[in-house]
C-alpha cells in the first residue's frame, strides 16, 4: 500500500466512524465481503464527502471494476468515385 492510499484509508475510517460506526481497516483491505458490505453502507449514507472518499479509496485499492467501454460503430467510408470510376 502506498502512502497516499494509507492517508485516504485513514481519512475514510475516521469519517466513516461518524456515520456507520467503527471500521476495521485491515479487514477492509483483505476481506472482499466485508469491504463490499461497508461500501454499500457508505453509498447508502447521505454524506457526499464520505461517498467520494469511499470511491477514491476503492479506486486506490483496486476494488472498482472498470466498466466496459463500447466503441462507437465505425462509419462507412464515403463513396469517393463518380459514375465514371
Parse the chain into domains and list their residue ranges.
3-61
Can you read off the three cell numbers belonging to residue 83?
A: 459514375
C-alpha to C-alpha distance for 16 and 8, rounded to whole angstroms: 12
- Specify the pLDDT at position 65: 74
User: What is the value of pTM for the model shown?
Assistant: 0.70
- Specify the pLDDT at position 53: 93
One digit per residue, pLDDT tens: the chain, 85 residues?
789 999 999 999 999 999 889 999 999 999 999 999 999 999 998 889 999 999 999 999 888 776 654 555 556 666 666 666 5
- Specify the pLDDT at position 72: 55
- Specify the pLDDT at position 74: 57
C-alpha to C-alpha distance for 53 and 9, rounded to whole angstroms: 9
> Residue 35: what are its φ and ψ, rounded to 5°?
-65, -40
Amino acid at each position: 500500500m502506498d502512502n497516499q492510499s494509507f492517508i485516504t484509508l485513514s481519512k475514510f475510517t475516521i469519517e466513516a466512524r461518524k456515520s456507520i460506526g467503527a471500521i476495521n481497516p485491515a479487514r477492509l483491505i483483505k476481506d472482499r465481503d466485508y469491504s463490499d458490505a461497508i461500501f454499500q453502507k457508505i453509498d447508502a449514507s447521505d454524506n457526499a464527502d464520505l461517498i467520494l472518499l469511499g470511491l477514491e479509496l476503492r479506486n486506490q485499492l483496486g476494488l472498482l471494476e472498470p466498466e466496459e467501454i463500447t466503441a462507437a460503430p465505425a462509419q462507412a467510408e464515403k463513396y469517393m468515385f463518380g459514375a465514371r470510376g
